[in-house]
Amino acid sequence: MAKLYLPAVIWTALLITLCLLPRGMTPERDSGGPALKIPHLDKVAHAGLFGGFGLFWTRAAASTTRLRTIFVLGVMLAVGTELAQALPIVARDPDVLDALADVVGLCAGMSVPRFLPVLSTT
């Protein structure tokens, strides 16, 4: 079980790093370059990052009590990273819809082991 915590910790560090990159180090909102214009691509990225968070932590700590804790911590992380984006050092725009995408991804990621037993640790 302990070996499952390492991917969760690494994913969480990656998530925090990507969510708090300063403005000049991130692509412009909703741009994917000239050949790839996908509206709200940042929402998909947020959902994917938090989906990974939910999946890895659910696999690492799979009891019901821990699942509630993972959910609460995931929501706190979603809100915290959005609020931290307003800090002068980050200088990005916090967005309620990004936080909502984070929570949707979190819920989706946490539900994957339930629907794909091959990813479950129990």
Query: For the chain, which residues make up each domain, given as ranges?
Result: 2-119
The arithmetic mean of pLDDT across residues 59-73, rounded, is: 86
pTM of the model: 0.84
> The tokens of 119 are what?
């990813």
Amino acid occupying residue 28 = E
Radius of gyration, CA atoms only, the chain: 15
Q: What is the pLDDT of residues 102-117, one digit of tens each?
A: 999 999 999 998 887 6
Taking CA atoms, 49 is separated from 13, 65, 82, in Å, by 11, 23, 14
High-pLDDT (> 70) share of the chain, %: 82
How far apart are alpha carbons 112 and 26 in whole angstroms?
29
Note the pLDDT of residue 30.
46
pLDDT for residue 41: 84
